[in-house]
Structure 1
């Protein structure tokens, strides 16, 4: 008011004694214009009628008010000894009388005409309009000057709705006493109160110095049911985190919530916008201090947020809840109402229809219906018999017997086997890993300076046979040699099919050969498309086939008939590139839900696509989840050509366990590609929300996963990698964060987790610039810059370890990133001190498989074909439910 930020036209009054001299525009504190204050026509009483109104236009949080009387250059004697405040907020839609934390409505005013009296407001007020009502205990003439202390409310919270707090004994009421919305029984609706007032409770809730800052609920009437709080915001927002300040005085039956679930909505009626965020809190019965619990929200989008908190003890006390968010840009529509008729309504409808008399000749319909039902039952029984006979037949086949049998499977004497006990202790030499071109361990150590003399020693070295690319930063990228597609880095398919790509779309065709410089095939790799009649080994890496030592996992001779050779797979890929085109999908039929990741080459969003066709089909299944990869807005022409080229190749990949390209949007800027996304999100977060079937303590609402189910997931990843292996494509960032989970535990490999901020700690900037997933990387990839399908095999074993531990820990969680580099150096130097990951399960065959994937020599590691066959045998007969 004093500095003029509030304009005269925004200051009004119920009346003025003289609008020119003592009108509302003169009600500014510490100013002496004209009459020097606002003076109403009527005198003040204990039933105030006159008011001075201030319109702030937008919602502000006001923490104090100041008042003065009329000084009038020493001539004024009018002041208000008390006053009442009312405020108006758009969400409430009416004037509300303010009362402080003590329940007092009448606030203290001035005792003279010249000094300001500043009144702290506890709780503060969230409002866009304010009214000051002069109040007097006896009838008197008053004049008033006022000031507001506060700031614009930028958090965006309009209201929150929740159950009112509970009473604890005769002396403790954990009510939200500051709540200004209506109370509907025990429910608080559409108001604001203590949960966002900025005041934090003390460790001991019995210490009420400064007022009771805790709102509390007891679990007596909410057994196994969560506390639900719904927040409404001013606009659609993008959320990165929420912070909940909780009490943990467990000696008094008060604990932090055991788990939380957060749901998002645009319209506020249906909270089905994307998968809910699930969070589990580890119980703390050691420290009783109150604390902030931070939950990452991963850029979810919504105007409404529903928080469900599950009790860990009899009482749960919360002092503050706030959000980190920004206003989201774009067109957002409320979630549609379901169109299907509920079973109850349908049943009532059928009952009403049955009341109508049906003519007797309609009995023929019942006869037809009985025949149809009998026929369906017969078909079902027949299918059951066929399935049973098929399973029984496969069980009796020789190549599907138990791997532990004496004559069939994976005999231990066919492979130099790692001794499990000595390997996991990691302190003994002679683990069975042979030296790889290093004969003097001390010389190896000296050459690296014990990994501490120079950070340069930790950088990936140039790839053998590619000296002309040593200065190329693009080639040195750790897991995406081709920027926009994850699955290939050394395959010759790009060079072989360059003409096809150039002719497929003149707009995006590459006109210079240097656009493909970082897709040159590996040195020593034979041309894969030279002859359709050529027969290459199923898993050729760096020009060498798997030796007989890998016979433990080798398939029977006749199994090659069901698995296409590398030549056949590449021929099929080439044909798809020639015959197929990328379908254009209208961008207006994409509804963005949340940001998934953001990297140097663009942003990935989760979205809903309306009417997008299934892969290689014209069939549409209504609305489905997709991932949208946007090219950066400032992309150069070369980057646009690379983007289109990479997407074309990615669209030609065809495997049940690979995330596929569904369409592309090129008519509007920026360019984007539409890819498959599955209902349950990435595998890492999915596993964290489940527990093993062997877990002794089962949390309410948390599902269990069996060992066979986990192997089933691992086998699917091996199957997808087997397909990439058949094309000699290298993924370079295989991990659970880069796998998607759908219905019936269906897994698809992707790369959406690479730049997700949720997994930023999984990457280590070895040179200070390039982040590397070193906890998943083979030693030769880190120290020689060598990425092959065998380095993917190493990463697969780490991924399988993640799956079997349900992602409860990151690999080598007890070691820092520099220690991981030093550990990999032990494998590089072959000094017998390499520390393997601990056993994830007690199953010896699975542990041995992982150890063989971590062999020092890459050629001694099994292929994905062999790994997939082995996991299938181990999991024979399992079917997801």
Structure 2
């Protein structure tokens, strides 16, 4: 099966479904995990006349331009006025022309090639099945507001839990402040073949068990609910079947029995529950399937008889259909019971379900019906049993011949199409090796700028792009985001930022809003972001401008240090604009305040790291250097390297920082072994597991401090952590400049370098560096620590394969490779690592949570 591309397999799948539907044998039961096809906003199947809006800013931002991933007109639909908080008057409406089962929605802002920057951070959805009664969508916890976009170019997909059945859908932007919003949208789902528009039933009841109550109400019913449920749909049509044991907690983190609607026979003296089903038109019904619970140990059983009445026009048929499935007292599993409806023609069905025990619980009811190809002439009355009416419909012979001829022609056409698709796949398979040879070039192009175009093709050559209208969106997390396929969809400064990265041989670039986005910081392009270019080419901390203003509001709180008291010991590294040296500083204690404690006498020199700016550095580099001094002077945390003094009264400009006597953590751990028999045999120095945890906790504490200031490190690794006495750890930022670690950085065409083995998928593919990406890097750093830095992360993969693996994290089809659990790593710590590597950035823990978790693990 893998020899065919998935897109074309779904083409074939859709063609076969179409054929079966035309033959009248397609099943109507909906699976929300499969029913996830784009309904035509982005593909163009939804016509312009079917898209409307409450208002529009201009003709070029009319409703028809609100199509996902389209840049026509001015790039999106935009309402006429600024959207105010709690103002739900503006909406974008889509007419699907028939009922559809909708499981997923996608939104996007107005980017317009970098000109636009309007998007909806939140929105609500309303829907209607008849165009007159509008229903507000709520999730399973009752929340209406859906989190939307955080920039103008990324696509954000949100699962609708529960799904909706609708003919019309409205997207209604919501804001917490006055702002301009624009939207592009798409709906995902499939056609609602049941045709059911509402069911009326008694309200579900509460069952009291010895341990806890079980609520069996229809909590997502979208009609009126008083003593009974009228004119709505809900859990009986959401496509989700209840558990065999209804007393267990549900997967949606809601109460036991959530997926069931249940009734007690004491509330129904007649002995049955009556449910009426209304349909969109007269249909020819073949079967009804009812999913019932059968936990007879709790006096819950399937119905023992059902009696159904049919309404074809305005009157109900007098003779009902009766069906008795039999009661199973051996198997407690929930099951579908299929009721043969014997080809009754009806637009409404009323069924009476008779109790077999104290309780009756249903979770799904679905119908199978054919389109009305029959006339309404009935045969003479049936001579069958009086409890079952079997009308026979006379079919016009001429129409039958035409129909059969059409179906035969359609079958031949479909078979020909399938043969052509399969033949294409054979040729594509033969060319696949040649296509894969282009992978390295594509990856290089995706990470470097060779012109004004920057393309990352996330489908790769092995996944051919499908032109099918029915390209399925697989189940996603709540915050799925699709990266832009072209740099023209990203703020133009991003390209400039990457060009600067390539030209300076660094992994830190001058950031724009697309490279550093902090929670709680403005997301608009006008919100400047300050990122300092380290003189050595290292990834110095990147912070938002608002934080920069707070930090630099005072004079630099460090003193000038005499250069003559510095003795250079070793060059640690160099970059385009400067160098880093390991030095001894004499008399440093006299220049320091009481915050610094040195465990050496005043006569002994202090080991320091000196960052030095070259005298030929340009003005921008000098300004960045001075800004870095201001920021470093404000960082005061026991686990962050401190700025001790500066030399800025003359060239070359220098900043003097702490340097720990045991060097960096990577080299320190690699010289040690874990406690055990192997260490005794090799006579190597050892480190206990407790001390490893202590060091990791210190790194988490330092990063907690940085993240509290909205700092983004961007190169957290053991090479950037320094070790002092008694396993003291301090986070630094100049490990990258050392030739010793050149193998840890991926070089793009011999120029720019990136620490890809520590980087999150969104940092590699989207250029997004946030606290969440630092959390990802922390987990890799923790993995290094528990492996005693004996192995490089993903050592079994080449750099190109590491980048390919990030694509698997993006696609999230369970093919991504995680770093394996180290031998010394307990399950509790590995769970922390895995949580840090979650695809969705919002699901990753904060450094505060990581710090607390590590404290609890320590003995």
If the TM-score is normalised by the length of the shorter chain, which range does it land in?
A: 0.3 to 0.5
In the superposition, the TM-score normalised over structure 1's length comes to: 0.39
In the superposition, the TM-score normalised over structure 2's length comes to: 0.39
